[in-house]
């Protein structure tokens, strides 16, 4: 309801709904026409029927929504509640982020565990296959234990790198390769150097010459050569390099070999070709042939 109160002769116009006061009738009438007043008036009439009450967090009650709204502007407890809600929201966001991080880490850990499990399974498969091969080579109804042979009888064998370093070539090795060709010449050099060693000192053994199953001692431990035969291919390349370094000795022995009219000219040219790998471009096939020849010569007598 709207009241009109006078104080000291001055008439005051007061709107109870909106808590609006003015001493000017014009301003009061204009206020009554505003949408704000009319909305509050409608709310008040509705509230009168339903006796609706508006509550603040601080405990105060109001009959009009507008009164509650004005009060909440300055209510400290209401503001504190809003701040607490904001803090709770921020904490919830932080907690959510932390939970998501933990979930992500667990997913990554699970992925790593799966990869590790697969690797272990592969290792177990390979180990079982190798153990079967190692422990069940039978000859004349007698079981030959390859593990015992390699790790006990050949425990003092040379490392493959030490073997290569120990090889000392002579000019005759180079000249022999010129006659035999690259493949036969390099294979002959390597086999000759291996056979010069006691069988238990050799860094290379073959358990199956048909399948070319080779075992190499490297870094003081025996290991089965992989399908690519990486160790043996390195040996071949290094021995071939050592052999090619003998070319200056041949030229020193036969100074006129570089002249086309020299009787050593053709021999010198062939030595250069064979020392560089021989005719043809497929070095891998040449190495395969050399490895096959080595395997036949270092096969274990079981």
Torsion over CA: 229, 231, 235, 238 (sign): positive
Q: What is the pLDDT of residues 202-233, one digit of tens each?
A: 999 999 988 999 999 999 999 999 989 999 99
pLDDT band, residue 257 (cuts 50/70/90): confident
Average pLDDT, integer, range 76-102: 64
* Whether pLDDT at 165 is above 90: yes
185-203: average pLDDT: 96
CA distances from 49 to 2, 18, 63, 199, 267 (A): 18, 19, 12, 113, 125
The vertex-15 CA angle with 13 and 19, nearest 5°, equals 115
The pLDDT, as a whole number, for residue 16 is: 74
Q: The whole model's pTM is what?
A: 0.53
- Residue 110, CA distances (Å) to 96, 103, 113, 118 in order: 21, 10, 5, 12
- Reported confidence tier of residue 31, pLDDT bands at 50, 70, 90: confident
- Tokens at 195, concatenated: 């056979």
- Taking the CB of residue 187, how many other CB atoms lie within 10 A of it? 24
Which of 135-149, 220-234, 257-271 shows the lowest per-residue confidence on average (mean pLDDT)? 135-149
Give the model's pLDDT for residue 67. 73
Residue 157's φ and ψ, nearest 5 degrees, are: -65, 155
Q: State the pLDDT at residue 103.
A: 72
pLDDT, residue 95, reads: 66
Beta-bridge partner residues of 25: none
What does the pLDDT read at residue 85?
59
Residue 215 β-bridge partners = 205, 224
Mapping DSSP onto H, E and C, the string for 94-125 reads: HHHHHHHHHHHHHHHHHHHHHHHHHHHHHHHH
Give the pLDDT mean for 61-71. 70
Find the mean pLDDT for residues 90-119. Answer: 72
| The pLDDT value given to residue 72 | 67
Between residues 63 and 211, the one the model is more confident about: 211
Task: Give 153's pLDDT tier (boundaries 50, 70, 90).
Answer: very high
Q: What share of the chain in percent tops pLDDT 90?
A: 41
């Amino acid at each position: 309801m709207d009241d009109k109160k006078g104080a000291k002769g001055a008439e005051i116009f007061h709107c109870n709904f909106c808590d609006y006061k003015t001493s000017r009738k014009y301003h009061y009438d204009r206020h009554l026409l505003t949408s704000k007043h009319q909305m509050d008036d409608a709310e008040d009439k509705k509230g009168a029927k339903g006796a609706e009450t508006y509550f603040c967090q601080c405990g105060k009650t109001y009959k009009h929504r507008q009164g509650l709204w004005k009060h909440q502007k300055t209510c400290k407890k209401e503001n504190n509640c809003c701040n607490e809600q904001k803090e709770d929201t921020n904490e919830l966001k932080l907690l959510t982020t932390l939970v998501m991080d933990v979930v992500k880490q667990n997913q990554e850990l699970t992925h790593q565990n799966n990869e590790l499990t697969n690797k272990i399974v592969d290792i177990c498969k390979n180990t079982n296959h190798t153990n079967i091969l190692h422990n069940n080579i039978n000859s004349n109804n007698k079981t030959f234990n390859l593990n015992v042979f390699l790790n006990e009888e050949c425990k003092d064998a040379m490392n493959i790198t030490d073997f290569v370093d120990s090889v000392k070539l002579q000019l005759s090795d180079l000249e022999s390769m010129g006659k035999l060709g690259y493949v036969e010449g390099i294979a002959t050099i390597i086999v000759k150097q291996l056979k010069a060693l006691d069988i238990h000192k050799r860094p290379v053994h073959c358990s199956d010459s048909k399948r070319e199953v080779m075992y190499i001692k490297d870094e003081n431990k025996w290991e089965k050569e992989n399908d690519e035969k990486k160790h043996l291919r390195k040996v071949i390349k290094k021995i071939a390099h050592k052999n090619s370094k003998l070319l200056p000795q041949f030229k020193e022995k036969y100074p006129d070999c570089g002249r086309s009219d020299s009787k050593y000219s053709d021999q010198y040219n062939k030595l250069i070709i064979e020392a560089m790998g021989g005719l043809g471009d497929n070095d891998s096939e040449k190495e395969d042939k050399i490895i096959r020849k080595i395997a036949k010569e270092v096969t274990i007598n079981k």
